[in-house]
């Protein structure tokens, strides 16, 4: 009798356990999100902020303005953000994967070097941003010094002064910061592969390349998926690094959606447009998140 009673409540118990998390999410994530959505549908700016009676719902006007106004940088910011993210992830992942394979082997000093590579992840991003800003300086920056003294360059490159090279510079800085994150997650994935599988592959005569593509990568596919998705989300909303290095300049060449939303809200006091820009960022990430959850589900079914 008692046993069935307990079993019945197990489902309810599960709900009960998830309740604190649910309440937490609703208060700290749900409420601001809904507020932000409401704000983005109003016309709150420097002129109406102090006069609630003049605030009105304007529907999706702010979104339309962001995409069609001549002064709006949002379309450019989205393209910049995509370039920034894809370029960052591509190199972060490849380098991180390579390092993970390296550190998965035991060699003298292995744990020391693995620890050292974490420095770039532990360093506050503003500090890293400042260091890279100095390194990329036109005169006296170590990168130009290095390249010119090795005669790779004839003339110093105006890294942060030209749109394209400024983008390269922030991508390089972001790659440097993100490599340890990729490395650690993949390394954790690698440790779950039992050595016996490699052993038997070896007995079957598989070479290194075959082992990598037929065993290692398929075995850690879930880890790779989460690295790529989390990396995408983290990179897509990077703010501090770019704010410190270029403030979105020169001429908006490195303006990201995050820096643009900040600029609208806190520099130009266009609170509603800023909220709308932030929501665009959120929507893009939501799509990525759903895609991630779906692939994880599919994997688990398999």
Residues forming the site for another protein (CB under 8 A) = 46-47, 49-51, 69-71, 111-112, 115-116, 118-119, 122-124, 127, 130-131, 134, 137-139, 158, 160-163, 246-252, 263, 265-270
Q: Residue 44 or 284: which CB sits closer to another protein?
A: 44
CA distances to 3, 108, 124, 269 from 236, rounded to whole Å, are 50, 37, 18, 24
Least separation in angstroms between residue 262's CB and another protein is 9
Residues forming beta bridges with residue 42, ordered by sequence position:
57
Least separation in angstroms between residue 274's CB and another protein is 11
Q: Residue 189 or 273: which CB sits closer to another protein?
A: 273
DSSP-derived 3-state class of residue 149? helix
Least separation in angstroms between residue 61's CB and another protein is 13
Distance between CA atoms of residues 302 and 299, nearest Å:
5
Q: Residue 165 or 226: which CB sits closer to another protein?
A: 165
Task: With CA atoms as reference, report the closest residue to 220 among 199, 195, 190, 185.
Answer: 190
Q: Residue 126 or 191: which CB sits closer to another protein?
A: 126
Task: With CA atoms as reference, report the closest residue to 78 among 281, 219, 228, 248.
Answer: 281
Distance between CA atoms of residues 238 and 245, nearest Å:
12
Distance between CA atoms of residues 174 and 241, nearest Å:
8
Q: Residue 17 or 49: which CB sits closer to another protein?
A: 49
Least separation in angstroms between residue 107's CB and another protein is 14
Least separation in angstroms between residue 118's CB and another protein is 8
């Amino acid at each position: 009798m008692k046993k069935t009673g307990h079993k019945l409540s197990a489902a309810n118990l599960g709900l009960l356990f998830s309740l604190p998390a649910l309440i937490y999410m609703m208060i700290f994530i749900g409420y601001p999100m809904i507020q932000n959505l409401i704000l983005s549908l109003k016309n709150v700016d420097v002129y109406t902020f102090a006069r609630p009676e003049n605030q009105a719902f304007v529907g999706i006007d702010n979104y339309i303005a962001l995409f069609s106004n001549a002064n709006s940088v949002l379309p450019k910011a989205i393209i910049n953000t995509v370039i920034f993210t894809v370029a960052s992830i591509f190199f972060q992942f490849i380098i991180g994967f390579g390092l993970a394979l390296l550190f998965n082997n035991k060699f003298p000093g292995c744990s020391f070097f693995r620890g050292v590579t974490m420095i770039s992840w532990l360093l506050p991003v503003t500090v890293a941003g400042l260091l890279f800003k100095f390194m990329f300086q036109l005169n006296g920056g170590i990168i130009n010094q290095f390249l010119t003294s090795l005669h790779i360059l004839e003339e110093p490159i105006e890294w942060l002064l030209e749109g394209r090279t400024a983008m390269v510079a922030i991508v390089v800085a972001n790659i440097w910061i993100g490599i340890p994150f990729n490395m650690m997650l993949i390394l954790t994935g690698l440790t779950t592969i039992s050595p016996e599988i490699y052993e038997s592959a070896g007995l079957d005569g598989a070479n290194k390349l075959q082992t990598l593509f037929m065993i290692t990568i398929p075995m850690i596919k879930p880890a790779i998926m989460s690295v790529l998705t989390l990396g995408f989300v983290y990179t897509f909303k990077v703010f501090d690094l770019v704010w410190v290095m270029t403030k979105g300049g020169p001429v908006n060449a490195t303006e990201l959606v995050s820096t643009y939303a900040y600029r609208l809200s806190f520099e130009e006091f266009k609170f509603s447009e800023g909220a709308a820009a932030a929501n665009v960022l959120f929507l893009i990430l939501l799509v990525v998140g759903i895609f991630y959850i779906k692939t994880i589900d599919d994997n688990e079914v398999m």
